[in-house]
Each structure stands twice: as structure tokens, then as C-alpha cells.
Amino acid sequence: MASYIPQVLLFYVNNGSDSLSQYLSFNKVIYSLVASQLTLASHNASVWLGVSLTIFRFLQSRSRHRIPKRTKNLQTAAVVCTALVISVASSVPNTFANRIEKFTLPDNQTIYIVNVPAVATNNAHTLVDTNVLFYAIVGKLLPCFLMILFVGALVHSLHKRSFTTRKRSVMMGRTNRLLYAIVILFLITELPQGALVLLCAFVPGVYENVYIPLGDFCFDKLFR
């Protein structure tokens, strides 16, 4: 999210004297596009790391013996690398769906904009629809489903073992509560957005009339 700070400074602060060609210069638009891609990839990585956290905690609750530290480190490195690969791969379609276009105005000023093709319309490109579906499923809905699945399995596993390992359950109670809080926050923020993005892919007008105005409203409220 730190990448938004230079973007706000470039596009929203002290631009009253800039001409339109300076405001929408190639360098600024390139930065905006790259920053959005990095933000998307890092956000997807945090989501999938949250999923890995629930999987680790579930496997730990099922383990009957102590796992060597070296094995834990290798498992952690493997899961982190997998989460990073998934996050980068899930942002690739978005990279190809957006493109920078050059326009010359009647007063000979040259501006650059990021062309975001419409979705759920007759003019929509296959890559655009694929990008929206991929983002909604891989970046939002699938992680939420896996979190619900493994947290539910964790609660069931702990409930079954609570009668024989009550002391251990009390010791791990704080860790479980922290995990539950993380999962609840993820579900509150990611599940509605995933459903909304999915609607954008199938219902005409949702992207232009709901998704974009809602994003602009949240952005304005955040930085005002």
C-alpha cells in the first residue's frame, strides 16, 4: 500500500499548475501501471500466505509427534515460494489486459492513459474476461473457500482432541484466536469483493455503474 503514497503525490497533490500533458505524462502513467501490478501481486501473496497459515495450523493440530526444526523451515520456505508463484501468476493476465495508449489533443498536447477494456459487454476481449474470472476465483473466492475449509477442519480437530489434550489446547488458545481473527478479517474484506468482481464478468453494467464508482468513493474517503 506504500506505493499509493507517491501515486497520490503525483496525481492529486500540487497539480493545479500542470498542463494535461504533464499530468498524464508517459512516466507518470508507467509508474501508475507498474505500481498497480506490484500492489496486486503483493496483495495476492498476502492472501495466499494467509491460506498457508491456516493449513500449517491445521496440520500442526493433527500432528502426533514433534516436527524437526529443519523440516519446519523447509516446509515454510516451500509454502512461501508457492504463494509467491501463485500471486505472480495470477497477476499476469491483468498485465496483458491493460495497455497504455497515446492520444494527441486538438491543442497538440500528447497524453497517455491506461486503457482498461470493458467487461461483460459485446466488445469485451477474451483475455479481459479471463483476467476478471482468474482474479475473482484465484485471488478472492478460492482462498476464502480454503480458509473456511481448513479453519472448520481445525476447529473440529481441536474439539475432538480437547478431552485428551486439554492442557495443550489451553496453551494454543491464543494462537487459535489470532488465526480466527485473521481469517474473519480476510473473509469480510475479500469475499464480498470476489463476489462483486465475479458479477462484473457476467452482469453487464456492474463494472461501470457499481465497481468503479465504489472504488472511487473508497479512494476519496481514504485520502481526504
Q: How far is CA 124 from CA 116, 119, 167, in A?
A: 10, 5, 58
CB 207 within 8 A of CB 136: no
- Band the pLDDT of 175: cuts 50, 70, 90: low
Determine the Cα–Cα distance for residues 69 and 60; give it in Å rounded to an integer.
Answer: 13
Q: What average pLDDT does range 118-131 have in this prediction?
A: 61
pLDDT of residue 203: 79
pLDDT of 221 > 60? The answer is no
**Residue 49 belongs to domain spanning:** 4-223
> What CATH number is given to the structural domain containing 196?
1.20.1070.10
Q: What is the domain count for the chain?
A: 1
pLDDT of 1 > 70? The answer is no
* This prediction's pTM: 0.73
pLDDT in tens, 39-65: 888 888 888 888 888 888 887 777 666
Q: Which residues contact 85 (CB under 8 A, 6 or more apart)?
A: none
* Placement of cell 492513459 in the chain: 113
pLDDT of residue 223: 46
